[in-house]
Structure 1
Amino acid sequence: MSFMWSPATTLTLSTMITSTLMALSSTNWVFLWASMELNLLSFIPILMMSKLNQEVEASIKYFLAQALGSALLLTSSIMMWSPYSILPSLMPMILMISVLLKLGSAPCHFWYPSVMSSISWISCTILSSWQKLAPLAILVFFTSQMSKSLIMLMAGLNAMLGGIMGMNQSQLRTIMAYSSIGHLGWMLSFMLLDKPMMSMLYFTIYCSLIIPLFMFFNIMNFTTSKQLSKITMISPSSQMFISTLLISLAGLPPLTGFMPKMLAIMMLANYNTPLIIILILGSLMNLFFYLNIIINMMMPSQNMNTNLTKYVHATPSLMLLSSVTSMGLAPMIML
């Protein structure tokens, strides 16, 4: 699946970026809802850029899930402030469910792995990074008054479900989708401490790690973990950088991905020990399928496609970016 650039793509990308900034700077729920609707309508043409049947199917799934989330968001936000609200105590919970649905977070994650497995790597990059920015900001900044027990349940559920379901996958896009769900558990854990900026910091570090990784996969057109074995004899440096990014995503020290997890553990140490154990177990399961990808990459391929050479040697900028994001950010965070 290739991603085709055109003037229409530039227009939709600019509209998508503008709508997200509008949502982040909105002052009322109606304007926020309108901005997120504009963002939805801007991203769907990007999903369908290759015009493949599976991408059309993925765009329909994405639209249905996001439309349901938008409807719940608008209804619950209006009913929360209406004097004629029915069951006003349920409206904040419905609002949180709507944001979780738009974010692709458990238990409203049913659409996210399916969409990720059917779209291009460029679309996966946008869906896993920029498209999560506005819903995550709403979740951590505007719904912090939610029940702490509910937030703890959502954080633990994301961590465990992302780890358990990810171990049973062979498609790289699906693995990365469940990996994203697992990382959402760590982001939600900061809500227990009323630290929304820490959630956004974790999200920023996560995006800095997946963007070069997804760009590697896009250039080499990889879909399964077994295809990564083609890199072994062609470019050991690319193999090293991909392994470093995956290990950093797993959160092993002293790489960048370890720092936000260490901060979460330190902050939660005196607050909620069971949640820390659940988050660490989920992270260990994530480490299992990351190592599985690395092991498959190190196994020599019997059917070597030498046409990949020109793509591998055409990625020095991605190697530099991966080095900076996976190792260079750690000293900055420590300072």
Structure 2
Amino acid sequence: MNPITLIIIYFTILMGPLVTMLSSNLFIMWIGLEMNLLALVPLMTNKPTTRSTEAATKYFLTQATASMILLFSILINFKQLGSWTFQPETSNIIMTMTFISLAIKLGLAPFHSWLPEVAQGVTLTVNLILLTWQKIAPLSIMSQFYELMNPNLLILSATVSVLIGAWNGLNQTQMRKIMAYSSIAHMGWMISILSYNPSLMILNLLIYITMTISMFVILRAHSFTSITSVSLMWNKMPMATPMMSLILLSTGGLPPLTGFLPKWVIITELTKNSNLMLATVLAMTALINLFFYTRLIYSTSLTTFPTNNNSKMYTHHQPHKMNNIMPPLMITSTMLLPLSPLLL
């Protein structure tokens, strides 16, 4: 792709969520979401293959449907109230339509089925954008109007999301699908706390983005796309093996790593608000998530797979330059729990 075109596309992807977050006008927020959508599709088809074309088509059709529902709800609200923002007088049907459209964009259950398929068909770089940056704009709209949304609908979607993200991640062997189902489960955690404490949702989002970026930096180093390829990391990137293990444990929420912090505070907040059933479901599904993360660690660190080569270590043949952002990402992904009183 032409470098100038690439710069324009990345700039549009960068500006989309910023336009949405900095605006109080619903129509401008919708424009920010469309900037994100239209800029990501060319990136998906940058290296055209059958899988990437299929993934781009699924992504465009799904997101266009969500945008149509959102725009429809915005126009109905403007016709009824004469305002380009949601008011306390906005009907429940309009807010339900808005939540459905944003849930489709986030990949929340039961509107999640497009996300693993799209994630499997695109490159790791596009996957990283899809699972991190693209979540910011819809979540920012939800955090602005969460008081007008039906809390029971939020809790139901969060419960189904964490269950589907945990159970469907168990039988996956492709890293991109595993990270997609992990994203669905994490979105469920964020939505579960939205109606009680939106600041905890933002904290969870920041920590999730940090851990996901750390994971994809390691995966991109040698294009690790499946558990089989990850199992050969021990003789290609020896130093990355313990780093990836720690990031996976942190993503699973094992104390005393950073990933335990959002799960801890979310369960505490739910307990304070007498929502013991949802807190129990979240804690149980966190164990299932931790199981398939541990399975990855077993494949990466605790087994030595046979190779057809005489030389077991390839670091002296293929020198690797770890990304400069990896050390700070590693620290923030694993060692922020002692700062939890300051962060909260």
Q: Where on the TM-score scale, by shorter chain, does this alignment land: which range?
A: over 0.9
Structure 2 unaligned runs (5+)? 83-89
Residue of structure 1 in register with 2:43 after alignment: 46
Residue of structure 1 in register with 2:307 after alignment: 303
Residue of structure 2 in register with 1:225 after alignment: 227
Q: Which amino acid aligns with 1:157?
A: V
Whether 1:57 aligns to 2:54 is yes
Whether 1:286 aligns to 2:289 is yes
1:51 positional shift: 1.9
Checking the alignment, whether the CA contact within 8 Å between 1:116 and 1:174 is kept in structure 2 is yes
Distance 1:325 1:203 in 2: 13
Q: Which amino acid aligns with 2:286?
A: S
Distance 2:31 2:247 in 1: 36
Checking the alignment, whether the CA contact within 8 Å between 1:248 and 1:257 is kept in structure 2 is yes
1:104–1:167 distance in 2 versus 1, CA, 3 Å: same
SS in 2 for 1:252: coil
Residue of structure 1 in register with 2:248 after alignment: 246
Deviations 1:225-264 (A, max 9, x none): 1221212234432110000000000001111000111111
Distance 1:312 1:257 in 2: 31
Q: Find 1:171's aligned residue among 163, 169, 174.
A: 174
Checking the alignment, whether the CA contact within 8 Å between 2:211 and 2:251 is kept in structure 1 is yes
Q: Which amino acid aligns with 1:15?
A: T
31-40 or 232-241: which moved more? Answer: 232-241
Checking the alignment, whether the CA contact within 8 Å between 1:140 and 1:188 is kept in structure 2 is no
Q: Which amino acid aligns with 2:147?
A: S
1:5–1:327 distance in 2 versus 1, CA, 3 Å: farther
Q: Find 2:157's aligned residue among 150, 154, 159.
A: 154
Whether 1:189 aligns to 2:192 is yes
Distance 2:35 2:160 in 1: 30
Deviations 1:173-223 (A, max 9, x none): 001000000011110121131x22221111011000110211111111111
Q: Which amino acid aligns with 1:300?
A: T
210-219 or 322-331: which moved more? Answer: 322-331
Distance 2:306 2:264 in 1: 41
Residue of structure 1 in register with 2:87 after alignment: none
Whether 1:79 aligns to 2:76 is yes
Q: Which amino acid aligns with 1:247?
A: L
Checking the alignment, whether the CA contact within 8 Å between 2:169 and 2:182 is kept in structure 1 is yes
1:84–1:190 distance in 2 versus 1, CA, 3 Å: closer
Residue of structure 2 in register with 1:325 after alignment: 332
Q: Find 1:265's aligned residue among 247, 260, 267.
A: 267
1:288 positional shift: 1.0
1:38–1:234 distance in 2 versus 1, CA, 3 Å: closer
Distance 1:260 1:5 in 2: 41
1:224 positional shift: 0.8
Q: Which amino acid aligns with 1:221?
A: S
29-38 or 237-246: which moved more? Answer: 29-38
Checking the alignment, whether the CA contact within 8 Å between 2:250 and 2:257 is kept in structure 1 is yes
1:285 positional shift: 1.0
1:117–1:311 distance in 2 versus 1, CA, 3 Å: farther
Residue of structure 2 in register with 1:100 after alignment: 103
Stretches (4+) displaced over 3 A: 233-236, 304-313, 316-319
Residue of structure 2 in register with 1:135 after alignment: 138
1:300 positional shift: 1.3
SS in 2 for 1:144: helix
1:324 positional shift: 1.2
Q: What's the TM-score once normalised by structure 1's chain length? A: 0.92
Distance 1:129 1:317 in 2: 20
SS in 2 for 1:49: coil
Distance 2:145 2:131 in 1: 21
Distance 2:261 2:92 in 1: 38
Residue of structure 1 in register with 2:21 after alignment: 24
Checking the alignment, whether the CA contact within 8 Å between 1:23 and 1:36 is kept in structure 2 is yes
Residue of structure 2 in register with 1:66 after alignment: 63
1:316 positional shift: 6.0
Checking the alignment, whether the CA contact within 8 Å between 2:214 and 2:330 is kept in structure 1 is no
Distance 2:21 2:272 in 1: 32
1:276 positional shift: 0.5
Q: What's the % identity of the aligned pairs?
A: 33
1:269 positional shift: 1.0
